[in-house]
Every structure is written in structure tokens, then in C-alpha cells.
Amino acid sequence: MQRPIGIFDSGLGGLTVARAVIDLLPHESVTYIGDTLHTPYGPRDQDEVRSLSIEVMDALVAQGVKMLVIACNTASAATFDIAKRRYQDTLGIPVIEVITPAVRAATIGSTRNRIGVVATAGTIGSGAYQRAFAHAGVPDVTAVAAPRFVEFVEAGETTGDRVLDAARSYLRPLIDANVDTLVLGCTHYPLLAGAIGYVMGPAVRLVSSAQETAADVYRTLADQDLLATGTAEYRFESTSIE
């Protein structure tokens, strides 16, 4: 089918997921919406995140997408169950989120089950990662919020003293917990992987959900006979640009 895959995030971070989807599925068209008018989602309460997310997903559905990818951990935590009922169960549009793929990748690769998560305050506060890891047999996870990371990425600041100072402060509990695997629990955070990896040290494996999410997209499209074969088209939109 030539209808596009709809991907959205609170801003620029979801482009890491979009890039992985485009690389893995070069024939698939993609429509991406970054809700830059309301970024960041992390400090907002769950009800507000749900409302904003549904508004963006409704806009994607109105554009005729064949799949929805919630490329935002905060929105995945707040909205996935509602989105499945609203779009997947009612309209037959499959919905993919980014938390389960990240947990799967982290659990498979961890040598000692000493896993940490760094994410927004909203994602950490929701308990979504903690529940997902407990379901995967890893009940003890060190989770910390790093809200300024999103602000840095949205401002185009991905290195330098301010970023490193914030990383040292936020990541100290994870270093103290001696984690061997660290989930970058926000799709903005891979853009700070250099600074995060430098502070955590070479022995700690960083996990981003982008590639695993793209693999879930492929599997779902293949299982439902929705794979495209033609020439892909890409459309990128921002809610703060008229």
C-alpha cells in the first residue's frame, strides 16, 4: 500500500525514529509531525499529554496514514492504550510505541541485569518503564529524569560544557548504581549520546529504541500485508509553523 506511515513526537527527537524507519523501509512513505508548539511534553501532566497526542494523531489519520508511530516516550506512556482503542481497534490502523522495543533491546543485551533509564519527568513519573521491565523479569531498574536534555536538543545544543555539566548531574545516580546498560528513554536523547556516553564511560551500553521500533514497524506491516513497493515520499510538518 502506498499510504504513508504517520510518525509524531513532541518535537525533533522523533526524527531519530523516522530515520530508522526510512533506512529499514526505503519504499515506505512517511509523514512526520513534530508538535513543536507544545514541546516539551515531559513536564506536562498525563491528561494534557493525552489530549495533545490525540490531536496530532487525529491530524495524521486525516491525512490517510496506514500506521501510527508514537515516537515519543512521554506520549507512549500516556497515550498508547487509548490510541490502540481509538485507531487500531476501531479504525484498523496499527499503532506502534517506543517503550516496549527499548525494554526488549536492553533486556537482551544486559550482562548483569543492571539496567538504568534516563527519560523525561513525565515518562519516569508514569512508571511505564518500570512496569515494562518488571514484566520482562527485571524488577530493579534505576530511573532518573533529565528534563533539560530535551531543551538542549530543541535548541540545537548537543555538546559543550553546559550539556556535560547537566549530564554529570543527572547521570550520577546511574553511575552510583553501576548500571551496565542505559536506556535513552526519550527519542531526543540519542542526539546527546556523545555526552551521555562520555559521562557514563565505555563499559555502559547505551540503548535507543529507534532501530527496535523500526523493526516492529516492519514486522507489523509485513504481518498485515501493508508493505509498500513504490517510490517513497516524505513529508515533515511542525505545529508551530503555519
Residues designated catalytic? 72, 186
Residue with cell 511534553: 41
Angle of helix 161-176 relative to helix 147-154, nearest 10 degrees?
A: 150
Residue 149: all three cell numbers together: 536534555
Q: What is the 3-state secondary structure (H, E, C) of 43-61?
A: CCCHHHHHHHHHHHHHHHH
Strands 67-70 and 95-96: parallel
C-alpha cell at 115: 539496567
What order do you get walking across the sheet with 234-238 strand by strand?
95-96, 67-70, 5-9, 30-34, 234-238
β strands within the chain, DSSP E: 5-9, 30-34, 67-70, 95-96, 115-119, 141-145, 181-184, 205-207, 234-238
CA 126, CA 176: separation in Å to the nearest integer? Answer: 23
Strand order across the beta sheet in which 205-207 lies: 141-145, 115-119, 181-184, 205-207
